[in-house]
Chain A
């Protein structure tokens, strides 16, 4: 077995093993790796956001003479007032500014970017032009399932009327669609985690230990 001599590979390998040691039980090696992860991640994201968002959007224009940008800088700094009991209420100013802008944008994004394309995608296979297209059998069944699934899922989440009669039947069918979606999400999540596990094992056995060529 020929282990790599690269110091960074050793650092990554030892930290990987320290995290996996948690599978035995909680221990000091895991705790050290956990605290390193939190410290490095917090520092990384703070720097990433500074150089990619805060600096180019606020501080760089301010340095170039756009003094209007003092307003968002002051609003941003006002966030820190919530750390002190007497001034905590001042955080409402930046909070309502951020909420106001984001809610206005999200209403438009929800309608234009999500609802309309989703509805178009659900109903467009049933337009006269599309119906005379050449769909194979399972695609046609799929489009019908898609339409029935969307409608019945919406019925299931419609709580303004009791789920009785036709609504009850719709809601029951909606539950089956939801169960299939939850199962699919679960299966997908498990496979994603196992893929990450293989990635780490590949790193340990190939990049670090060179056991597998």
Chain B
């Protein structure tokens, strides 16, 4: 029961959604849509589980007085505050002008943008150390990166007017070609892995 029923569920659901995607007729299309709605609803529970686990880990950290445990109070306080502000007026809590959205626009958004912008410093210092044209392949990578960067800033145009068009050409053709190759490879891999899982050949996710 612990193995057979889950394998039956994945087989039935996988084949049903695959086949019914090609049948737009009314009763079957409705069932397909119902399953999609359930699917969207259920996957949100993964995030709820993650949020619950985050709270649990930080409560345990405080209980056991682990390193930096004092900061966990801040995290739990912020989490509780957001949950309260997000629920206290029902759905209207998330409308523009509500405290929930104030916190999003003035705390979450600037902190996120600043965190990502920090990477500009680390990427620059890492590329200074790592970028060496040791062979022809590395030279290709280096040239493409430099041309793309110069083509996107006014100083590049000041050096040579052709940089933006060369950048555009690299992005549209050689870059798109490799990305397409990778994407087609991923799709083929995804299809074969999906079929293996639906048919119960691949079961490692159940361990």
Contacts and interface: CB of A to CB of B under 8 A. Distances in A.
Interface of A: 8-9, 11-12, 15-16, 19-20, 22-23, 31-51, 53-55, 57-58, 68-69, 71-73, 75-77, 79-80, 82-83, 89, 92-108, 110-111, 114-115, 118-119, 121-122, 138, 141-143, 145-154, 156-157, 174-191, 193-194, 196-197, 199-200, 203
B51 A42 contact: yes
Contacts of B5: 93
Interface string B56-67: 100000000000
12 contacts: A15-B107, A32-B74, A39-B75, A40-B108, A42-B82, A46-B83, A96-B6, A101-B35, A118-B184, A181-B175, A184-B171, A193-B120
Contact of A149 (B39, B80, B173): B173
Contacts of B107: 11-12, 15, 36-37, 40
A58 B44 CA distance: 10
Contacts of B81: 39, 43
A154 B177 contact: no
A111 B191 contact: yes
B58 to A, nearest CB: 9
Interface residues of B, number: 120
A75 to B, nearest CB: 5
Choose among A32, A99, A143, A154 the residue with the greatest number of B CB atoms under 10 Å from its CB.
A99
A184 B127 contact: no
Contacts, number: 387
A103 B190 CA distance: 9
A22 B114 CA distance: 11
Contacts of B35: 101
Nearest to B94: A51
Nearest to A28: B71
B121 interface: yes
Interface string B38-75: 11111111111111111010000000000010011011
B10 A42 contact: no
Given A35-B71, A40-B111, A95-B205, A115 B137 contact: no
Given A35-B71, A153-B182, A188 B21 contact: no
A107 B194 contact: yes
B94 to A, nearest CB: 6
Interface string B160-199: 0000000001111111111111111101001100110110
B37 to A, nearest CB: 4
A64 B60 CA distance: 40
A71 B114 contact: no
Interface in B110-148: 110-121, 123-124, 127, 136-138, 140-148
A176 B123 contact: no
Contacts of A175: 137
Given A53-B40, A181-B179, A190-B127, A46 B48 contact: yes
A69 to B, nearest CB: 8
A152 B178 CA distance: 9
Contacts of A110: 187, 190-191
Nearest to A151: B181
Contacts of B10: 96-97, 99-100, 103
Interface in B71-90: 71-72, 74-83, 86-87
A119 B124 CA distance: 36
Interface string B1-29: 01001110111111111100110000000
Given A48-B94, A153-B182, A190-B127, 15 more contacts: A44-B82, A51-B86, A53-B41, A53-B44, A54-B48, A73-B41, A83-B56, A96-B10, A98-B39, A100-B12, A101-B17, A118-B180, A145-B174, A153-B180, A157-B185
Interface in B90-108: 91, 93-94, 100, 102-108
Given A42-B54, A153-B180, A114 B115 contact: no
